[in-house]
Homo-oligomer: A and B are copies of this chain.
Amino acid sequence: MGLTKTEIFSEQQNQIAVFAKAFAHPARVAILQHLFKMDTCVCGDLVIEIGLAQPTISQHLKELKQLGLIKGNIEGTSVCYCIDQENWNKMKKVLNEFFDLDISAAGNCC
């Protein structure tokens, strides 16, 4: 069916999945890394930097923006993107709570 049954999962489980989806493509990872690397905001040189077509980059940026992980400011003809620090930290908290589930509780039968 290709349709995820979100309704049978908890809000937390769905939130983890939605955040993880942001990083589930190397282009979006590359975009975010580049936004971190630049100490000032970047615009469309992501297209040159990454090597995908402009509409493709624009689409990935849109997804990251909708998730709230990045912000965009119009500056003349170009658009300046950067990390949304508040939401980035929120995402980190949600995912790390999941990652840090106590491994010692996991049995040793395998």
Task: Please give the residue numbers on chain A whose beta carbons come within 8 Å of chain B beta carbons, in ascending order.
Answer: 4-6, 8-10, 13-14, 16-17, 20-30, 32-33, 35-41, 50-52, 71-73, 80-85, 88-89, 91-92, 95-96, 98-103, 105-107, 109-110
Contact = CB atoms under 8 A, between A and B. Distances in A.
Given A98-B33, A106-B83, A110-B80, A20 B13 contact: no
Number of this chain's copies in the assembly equals 2
Contact of A24 (B17, B71, B110): B17
Contact of A103 (B8, B24, B83, B109): B83
Contacts of A80: 109-110
A36 to B, nearest CB: 4
A109 B41 contact: yes
19 contacts: A4-B26, A5-B27, A10-B26, A13-B26, A13-B29, A13-B30, A17-B23, A17-B25, A17-B29, A20-B22, A32-B98, A36-B103, A38-B107, A40-B109, A83-B106, A85-B103, A88-B103, A91-B99, A96-B96
